[in-house]
Amino acid sequence: MRKRYTNLNEENNIKTFRDLRKWQKERRSKVKDLTENIQQCPNKNLIEIQENRSRISYTWIGHSTFFIQMNGLNIVTDPVWAKRMGFQKRLTEPGILLEALPEIDLVVISHGHYDHLDFPTIKKLKGNPHFFVPIGLRSLFLKKGYHRVTEMNWWDSIEFNGIMLHFVPAQHWTRRTLTDINSSHWGGFIFQSQDKTFYFVGDTGYFNGFQQIGERFTIDTVFMPIGAYEPEWFMADSHISPEDSVKAFTELKAKFFVPMHYGAYRLADDTGPEALDRLYKEWEKQQLPEEQLKVLLLGATVMEDGSGQ
């Protein structure tokens, strides 16, 4: 019998068929402008990141996919370059072409949903990366022919080529087939070097785990989801709203906030520009310093010294 994983405090975010029908009915009554989308960075310095072997950098590819460089390693989070997600066409092109990336050393997977784990993308990654995945997912990777795979449970820590990798809780769920619901876990990853600590949140609703994570780690930059929250009665326990993402940021006591998980796929009823607008309004409402919010265009790179496109 398969083990089934749960959230902190046993929070149950599984919806009924009646809930789904209610959402579908609501969606038909909404009119959304899908012509306005997140823009591409006009000045992408691909040569700089392709040749970089010493500086810390991060580049937003789109959705929850980042290309991170630290301690001489090339890292990718939740690699998804897919042109479609189910019946929906991708709204924005990835910020960098997959073939333009250098060889990858390390890949982290937050959970098994298709918009975070895309094997056709993984097959095209250059190099021979080591995959770090939530507990329960390794068997799927082995079936696909990938053997450099390490499973992690919540609060596990592993040293990899000079950086510490920590797997921390999130509030979510997962499923890839009709029978495998929650048969693997979900969470976020913290990358800790001597110079920087990055927190890739993954996919989550707001939960008290942010307070616990903030107490355990001193975080420089958090890559925080802000999209796929509408309707909130349906999505709130699995997808954090822009307002709650700001609350989570303050509880984490992080230095910089980089938004993600918006604008690429229409997973819910909100749009990318709507998510950003609500984020900006909440940031101003909470009177947080402007310089701590780093909203990136697609393909934009931020370097260790604070420079970026």
* Preceding peptide of 120 cis, ω within 30°: no
Q: What percent of the chain has pLDDT over 70?
A: 98
Residue 306: predicted pLDDT: 43
Q: Is 66 helix (H, G, I), strand (E, B) or coil?
A: strand
Token pair recorded at residue 103:
């060889």
Per-residue pLDDT of the chain (309 residues; tens, 9 = 90+): 789 999 998 888 878 889 888 888 888 888 888 889 999 999 998 999 999 989 999 999 999 999 999 999 999 999 999 999 988 899 999 999 999 999 999 999 999 999 999 999 999 999 999 999 999 999 999 999 999 999 999 999 999 999 999 999 999 999 999 999 999 999 999 999 999 999 999 999 999 999 999 999 999 999 999 999 999 999 999 999 999 999 999 999 999 999 999 999 999 999 999 999 999 999 999 999 999 999 999 999 999 864 444
* Distance from C-alpha of 201 to C-alpha of 169, rounded to nearest angstrom: 9
CB 220 within 8 A of CB 214: no
Q: Is residue 275 part of a domain?
A: yes
Q: Is residue 91 part of a domain?
A: yes
* Distance from C-alpha of 150 to C-alpha of 304, rounded to nearest angstrom: 28
Q: Is residue 157 part of a domain?
A: yes
CB atoms within 10 A of CB 8: 13
What DSSP assignment string belongs to 95-136? SS-GGGS----EEE---SSTTT--HHHHHH-SS-PEEEEETT
| Structural domains in the chain (count) | 1
Q: Is residue 257 part of a domain?
A: yes
Residue 25: predicted pLDDT: 83
The DSSP output letter for 122 is: H
Q: What is the pLDDT of residues 141-155, one digit of tens each?
A: 999 999 999 999 999
Distances in Å between the Cα of 6 and the Cα atoms of 58, 181, 186, 211, 241 are 31, 11, 9, 19, 21
The DSSP output letter for 8 is: G
Residue of 80, 77, 82 lying closest to 105 (CA atoms)? 77
Q: Is residue 219 part of a domain?
A: yes
* Distance from C-alpha of 143 to C-alpha of 176, rounded to nearest angstrom: 14
pTM of the model: 0.96
- Look at phi and psi of residue 115 and say left if phi exceeds 0, alpha if psi is from -120 to 50, else beta: alpha
Residues of the domain holding 69: 40-303
Q: Is residue 57 part of a domain?
A: yes
- Strand partners for 200: 189, 223
Residue 305: predicted pLDDT: 61
**How far from chain centre, in Å, is Cα 225?**
6
At 176, which amino acid appears?
A: R
Q: Is residue 192 part of a domain?
A: yes
E-strand ranges in the chain read 57-62, 65-70, 73-77, 84-85, 88-89, 106-108, 130-134, 149-152, 157-160, 163-168, 188-192, 197-200, 221-225, 256-260, 301-303
Q: Is residue 153 part of a domain?
A: yes
Instruction: Check which CATH number belongs to the domain holding 270 and give it.
Output: 3.60.15.10
